[in-house]
């Protein structure tokens, strides 16, 4: 029998610069509805593609810079010149809004998304030139003349699509069903953004590694934050299968995993368990982007005169396969869970998902090179009075480790510096929850000097108002011996 030890064979990251879609983020859409002049304030603070491309945290997300570089270069990181302007992004592409919006229409099999004819004429050659996007374009989208688009907008049963700050609409999303609140244009747009970004992350894996083929992907687990469904079953799913179809993984089936921001870790655990148990040979775990989280803190950014930095959608994909003698191992014996009786206290949670697994495996803190959790970009959260999320979490983890005698009380600052990772990830919930670090972990555990890396994620279940509890899960990645 072959070795069924699950390993990570590839990991990709995708960023989409989507300034024109920021207005449809949850916070901006509510604010603009309440006070229409907010739209102009928002439009006046958006970044260009070049600014997003030169932005250090985006360089780190896409692997051009190491997370360490964030500690060496002082903030503000925006409005700084590019550090390595001519180098490619190793983990994946930074996709511009034109291609992304065109792909939304291509991915919409129910043809609710219509594009302006002239926009498609410009976008189609861009898609054709892109090795990443070309395989996704198998059909042409429905098109509208300028007059037809204008009359759709006048009728008002949907949402216009814009690119950047250009006031001329380039497309239109119709409601999926006039009587179904789960199929409004806004929700369809959110779900399509997630589907397209996730499919781009999957395609990026094939783009990077010619040995991994779409037909070898047997199962897709989507840990995205959307809820695909209809009025009789909101959140019915299964976006994973829609992603597999759009990405050309014809032999794959799939299912969605939900656990708020923590979902990528249980998805990786389940994917690894499917490989180790022999259910399938290869699993793709993928997290698509979150449209609602665009512009979440825009009011603070506008007020403080800084660019609206939440203009990036982000997606990550991870290929889990059988042991190949090289790739980093997913140690399923390490999985940390957060049982109900641990309650909602953050210290108890960290004891359950970090300390307990270390004790179970008889591992010292010294044996782990990186503890990775929420890596939100502090330049987004600090102006919004949210503090530095990563630093705060490491401080709390260090306090828990100190109170359990795993490190000395005088070692807290050193622990944070050596074992932590500074924040750099767009505030896209699940993507920021350790998942964005997987491509870095893969590089560090193969070409770099990392030996072991603990990924842990936490979920604010109380936001859904069905329990006051939170959840969390952890997983140990190890260099192949």
Q: Which stretches of the chain bind other proteins, using CB under 8 A?
A: 345-347, 385, 387, 392, 395-400, 402-403, 409, 412
* 189 HSE (CA, 13 A, CB side): 29
Complex with other proteins: residue 27 or 479, whichever CB lies closer: 27
Q: How far is the CB of 468 from other proteins (least distance, A)?
A: 12
Contacts of 448 (CB under 8 A, 6+ apart): none
Tokens of 262: 């923590």
Q: What DSSP string runs through 143-165?
A: EE-HHHHHHHHHHTSEEEE--TT
305's torsion region: left (phi>0), alpha (psi -120 to 50) or beta?
left
Q: How far is the CB of 10 from other proteins (least distance, A)?
A: 36
Are the C-beta atoms of residues 139 and 106 closer than 8 Å to each other? Answer: yes
Q: What are φ and ψ of residue 318, in 5° steps?
A: -135, 130
Complex with other proteins: residue 23 or 301, whichever CB lies closer: 301
Q: Hey, is 79 helix, strand or coil? A: coil
Complex with other proteins: residue 212 or 412, whichever CB lies closer: 412
Q: Hey, is 412 helix, strand or coil? A: helix
Q: How far is the CB of 346 from other proteins (least distance, A)?
A: 7
Q: How far is the CB of 430 from other proteins (least distance, A)?
A: 23
Complex with other proteins: residue 211 or 385, whichever CB lies closer: 385
Q: How far is the CB of 403 from other proteins (least distance, A)?
A: 4
Are the C-beta atoms of residues 272 and 6 closer than 8 Å to each other? Answer: yes
Q: How far is the CB of 404 from other proteins (least distance, A)?
A: 9
Complex with other proteins: residue 327 or 349, whichever CB lies closer: 349
Q: Hey, is 476 helix, strand or coil? A: strand
Q: Hey, is 6 helix, strand or coil? A: strand
* 364 HSE (CA, 13 A, CB side): 5
Contacts of 179 (CB under 8 A, 6+ apart): 231
Tokens of 475: 């997983």
Complex with other proteins: residue 284 or 461, whichever CB lies closer: 461
Q: How far is the CB of 309 from other proteins (least distance, A)?
A: 20
Q: How far is the CB of 392 from other proteins (least distance, A)?
A: 8
Complex with other proteins: residue 180 or 347, whichever CB lies closer: 347
Q: How far is the CB of 428 from other proteins (least distance, A)?
A: 23
Q: How far is the CB of 409 from other proteins (least distance, A)?
A: 7
Rounded to whole angstroms, what are the CA distances from 429 to 7, 115, 119, 213, 409?
Answer: 25, 30, 31, 29, 31
Q: CA nearest 172: which of 185, 163, 183?
A: 185
Complex with other proteins: residue 412 or 469, whichever CB lies closer: 412
Q: Hey, is 372 helix, strand or coil? A: strand
Q: How far is the CB of 412 from other proteins (least distance, A)?
A: 8
Instruction: In the chain, count H helices and then E strands.
Output: 18, 14
Complex with other proteins: residue 212 or 399, whichever CB lies closer: 399
Complex with other proteins: residue 245 or 388, whichever CB lies closer: 388
Complex with other proteins: residue 278 or 387, whichever CB lies closer: 387
Contacts of 9 (CB under 8 A, 6+ apart): 209, 212, 282, 319, 320, 321, 324, 327
């Amino acid at each position: 029998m072959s070795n069924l030890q699950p390993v990570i064979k590839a990991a990709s990251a995708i960023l989409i610069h989507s300034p024109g879609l920021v207005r449809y983020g949850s916070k901006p859409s509510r604010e603009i509805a309440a006070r229409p002049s907010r739209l102009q304030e928002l439009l006046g603070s958006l970044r260009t593609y070049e600014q997003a491309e030169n932005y250090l945290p985006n360089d780190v997300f896409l692997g051009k810079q190491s997370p360490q570089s964030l500690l060496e270069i002082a903030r503000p990181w925006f409005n700084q010149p590019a550090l390595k302007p001519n180098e490619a992004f190793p983990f994946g592409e930074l996709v511009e809004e034109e291609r992304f919006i065109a792909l939304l229409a291509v991915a919409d099999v129910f043809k609710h998304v219509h594009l302006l004819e002239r926009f498609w004429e410009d976008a189609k050659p861009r898609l054709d030139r892109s090795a990443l996007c070309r395989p996704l374009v198998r059909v042409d989208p429905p098109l509208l003349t300028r007059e037809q688009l204008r009359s759709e907008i006048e009728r008002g049963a949907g949402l216009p699509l814009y690119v950047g700050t250009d006031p001329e609409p380039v497309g239109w999303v119709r409601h999926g069903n006039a009587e179904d609140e789960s199929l409004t244009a806004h929700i369809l747009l959110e779900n399509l953004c997630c589907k397209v970004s996730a499919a781009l992350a999957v395609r990026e894996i094939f783009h990077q590694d010619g040995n991994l083929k779409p037909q070898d992907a047997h199962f897709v687990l989507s840990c995205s934050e959307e809820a695909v469904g209809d009025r009789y079953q909101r959140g019915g799913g299964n976006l994973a299968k829609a992603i597999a179809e759009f990405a050309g993984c014809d032999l794959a089936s799939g299912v969605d995993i939900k656990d708020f921001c923590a979902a990528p870790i249980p998805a990786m655990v389940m994917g690894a368990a499917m490989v180790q148990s022999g259910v399938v040979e290869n699993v793709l775990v993928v997290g698509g982007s979150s449209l609602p989280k665009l512009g979440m803190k825009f009011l603070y950014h506008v007020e403080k005169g800084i660019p609206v930095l939440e203009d990036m959608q982000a997606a990550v994909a991870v290929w889990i396969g059988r042991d190949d003698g090289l790739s980093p191992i997913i140690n399923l014996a390490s999985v940390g869970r957060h049982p109900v009786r641990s309650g909602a206290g953050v210290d108890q949670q960290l004891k359950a998902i970090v300390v307990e697994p270390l004790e179970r495996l008889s591992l010292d803190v010294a044996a782990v090179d990186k503890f990775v959790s929420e890596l939100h970009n502090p330049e987004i959260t600090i102006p919004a009075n949210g503090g530095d999320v990563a630093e705060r979490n490491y401080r709390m983890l260090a306090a828990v480790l100190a109170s359990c005698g795993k490190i000395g009380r005088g070692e807290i600052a050193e622990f944070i510096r050596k074992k932590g990772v500074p924040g750099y990830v767009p505030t896209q919930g699940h993507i920021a929850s350790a998942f964005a670090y997987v491509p870095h972990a893969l590089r560090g555990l193969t070409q770099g000097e990392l030996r072991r890396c603990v990924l842990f994620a936490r979920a604010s279940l109380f936001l859904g108002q069905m329990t006051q509890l939170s959840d969390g899960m952890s997983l140990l990645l190890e260099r192949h011996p």
